Amino acid sequence: MENEKKIVGHCPLCGGNVVKTCKGYRCENALGEHSTCQLNINALLGNRKMSDDEITELLTKRRMLLDGFVSKEGKAFSTVIVLSDTGTVDMQPVIAVCPHCGGDIRVSNRAFNCSNFANEANKCGFSIWRNIGGHQLTLADAQEICEKGITSVEVEMFREDGSIYRKRLGLSPDKLQVVKI
Ligand SMILES: [Zn+2]
Ligand SMILES: [Zn+2]
């Protein structure tokens, strides 16, 4: 009789089942002596415990914006984790090119900021709040604003009285502000 296993998703490398193990998550074809796959994801990433649901999403989307990581120095940080074609999980905090100055846009816990904000030679104040009108911006929203100048769809936002309105988010003409369009 086969042992019962908890399957959290499918392996993007080989299509096999990804199962929960004592240390994390592993492709069934990456188990045992004759393994043909190498997908093995540690449950603890950047001192943050991944949930089963997050692993399921990562296996499908391959790329996720997450908060709550902690550096060796004990500082909390946010980043984008990427499941690579070789099965490794990499952190990629740079999410786009700054539309104002061409610098790197990096994710932080409250905003997507231009990395030239403190560069005296080429100072740039461009940033996108991660929460606009109660809408939590997705990675795709932020990338579309930077790359296309506007989100592809209207996002749902909320007024103080709780009423809902929908607008697209885009760049102001000087490419320094995010405006509701
Ligand atoms: Zn696999
Ligand atoms: Zn910039």
Same domain for 85 and 129?
Answer: no
Which residues are within 5 Å of ligand 1 (an ion), measured at CB? 11, 13-14, 16, 27, 29, 37, 39
Over residues 144-166, the pLDDT tens digits come to 999 999 999 999 999 999 999 99
- 157 inside domain: yes
Q: What angle do CA 90, 54, 14 make, to 5 degrees?
A: 65
Structurally, the chain folds into a number of domains equal to 2
Quote the tokens at residue 2.
């086969």
b vs e for 136-156, b when ≥16 Cβ sit within 10 Å of the residue's Cβ?
ebebebbbbbbeeeebeeebe
Q: What pLDDT is recorded for position 3?
A: 82
Over residues 88-111, the pLDDT tens digits come to 999 999 999 999 999 999 999 999
Same domain for 27 and 83?
Answer: yes
Q: What pLDDT is recorded for position 27?
A: 96
Per-residue pLDDT for 86 more than 70? yes
Q: Please name which ligand lies nearest the alpha carbon of 126.
A: 2
Whether the pTM exceeds 0.75: the reply is yes
Quote the tokens at residue 77.
């940080």
**Among 91, 119, 134, which residue terminates a domain?**
91
